[in-house]
C-alpha cells in the first residue's frame, strides 16, 4: 500500500515542470507515481455481462410425440370404417330386394314393365333350384343370436336374364311356417350375392333365416315370376 501522507520515503524526482511537479520516488513504481489506489475500482461482474441468476434453466423441453395415442385412434377409425362399409352393403342388398323396379325414365307405372305371357299370366322364372342343409358360419357382422342357413344352387335355364337376391328366397319349416331372410342378411359369411345370371349361368351360396329352424323346402320367387319350390336335402 501507499505510505500515509507525510511519511513518504525516497527522493523527490523531477517532473516535466521541475522538482515541484513530481512526488516521491517509490520502490517498484515509475517516478512521480505511487501504488494502486486505496479504493478498489468496481469493474462489474466477471465476464463483463450481467448474470441471469441461479434460477435460469434454458428453453423448456419439447414434449414427446404420443405415438400410442395416435395408433389407438387410427385403429379405432379403421374398425369403425369396416363396420360402416358392412352395414352399407347389407342395406344395399335389402333395398335392392324390396324397392320397386324403375326404368330409365323413372318409376314404372301400373301395367308397365311386367313380364307377362300372351295370356296375361306371370312369366315362369325358368330357374333350376337345388337346396341342401348346411351349418351356420358367422360373418364379421355377426354379434349374437341363433340363425339357420341353407345352401342353394340356382341355374338360369331361360333365354332372358335372371336376377338373384337373398331376399327372393323363403325357407319353409316342417310345420309349414315361412321364414324370410330379411332379419339375417349378411349374418352368414357365405351368403349368396346379388347378381344377374344370363342364359346358362348359375350361382351358388347360402341363405340364412333368424332362429333355430328345421327347413323342409326353399322357395325362389323373383319379381313378376312364378315361384320355384324345392325340398331341402
Residue 113 belongs to a domain: no
Residue 32 belongs to a domain: yes
Residue 74 belongs to a domain: no
Residue 29 belongs to a domain: yes
Based on the fold, state whether residues 126 and 32 are members of the same structural domain.
no
3-class DSSP state of 148: strand
Domain holding 180, by residue range, is 122-231
Query: What is the structure's pLDDT at 141?
Result: 93
Residue 95 belongs to a domain: no
All three cell numbers of 36, joined, read 494502486
CA distances 106 to 91, 163, 173, Å, are 21, 20, 39
Q: Which residues contact 35 (CB under 8 A, 6 or more apart)?
A: 1, 2, 26, 28, 29
**Rounded Cα–Cα distance for residues 224 and 15 (Å):** 137
Query: What is the structure's pLDDT at 126?
Result: 85
> How far, in whole angstroms, is CA 50 from its chain's centroid?
56
CATH number of the domain enclosing 143: 2.60.40.1240
Among 44, 63, 78, residue at a domain's last position: 44
Residue 173 belongs to a domain: yes
* CB-neighbour burial class of residue 125 (10 A; exposed 0-12, middle 13-18, buried 19+): buried
Give the number of domains in the chain: 2
Based on the fold, state whether residues 226 and 133 are members of the same structural domain.
yes
All three cell numbers of 93, joined, read 342388398
pLDDT by residue (tens digit) across 122-170? 677 789 999 999 999 999 999 999 999 999 999 999 999 999 999 999 9
Based on the fold, state whether residues 36 and 128 are members of the same structural domain.
no
* CB-neighbour burial class of residue 214 (10 A; exposed 0-12, middle 13-18, buried 19+): exposed
Write out residues in the chain with pLDDT < 50, as ranges.
Answer: 21-22, 49, 51, 100-120
Based on the fold, state whether residues 137 and 225 are members of the same structural domain.
yes
Amino acid at each position: 500500500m501507499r505510505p500515509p501522507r507525510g511519511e513518504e520515503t525516497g527522493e523527490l524526482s523531477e517532473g516535466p515542470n521541475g522538482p515541484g511537479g513530481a512526488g516521491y520516488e517509490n520502490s517498484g513504481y515509475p517516478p512521480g507515481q505511487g501504488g494502486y489506489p486505496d479504493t478498489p475500482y468496481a469493474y462489474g461482474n466477471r465476464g463483463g455481462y450481467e448474470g441471469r441468476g441461479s434460477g435460469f434453466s434454458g428453453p423448456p423441453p419439447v414434449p414427446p410425440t404420443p405415438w400410442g395415442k395416435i395408433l389407438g385412434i387410427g385403429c379405432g377409425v379403421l374398425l369403425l370404417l369396416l363396420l360402416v362399409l358392412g352395414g352399407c352393403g347389407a342395406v344395399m342388398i335389402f333395398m335392392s330386394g324390396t324397392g320397386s323396379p324403375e326404368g330409365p325414365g323413372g318409376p314404372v307405372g301400373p301395367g308397365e314393365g311386367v313380364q307377362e305371357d300372351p295370356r296375361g299370366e306371370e312369366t315362369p322364372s325358368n330357374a333350376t333350384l337345388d337346396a341342401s342343409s348346411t351349418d351356420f358360419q358367422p360373418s364379421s357382422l355377426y354379434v349374437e343370436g341363433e340363425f339357420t342357413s341353407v345352401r342353394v344352387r340356382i341355374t338360369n335355364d331361360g333365354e332372358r336374364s335372371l336376377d338373384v337376391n337373398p331376399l327372393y328366397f323363403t325357407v319353409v319349416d316342417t310345420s309349414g311356417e315361412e321364414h324370410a331372410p330379411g332379419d339375417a342378411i349378411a349374418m352368414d359369411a357365405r351368403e349368396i350375392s346379388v347378381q344377374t345370371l344370363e342364359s346358362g349361368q348359375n350361382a351358388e351360396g347360402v341363405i340364412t333365416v333368424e332362429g333355430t329352424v328345421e327347413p323342409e323346402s326353399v322357395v325362389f320367387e323373383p319379381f313378376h315370376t312364378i315361384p320355384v319350390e324345392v325340398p331341402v336335402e
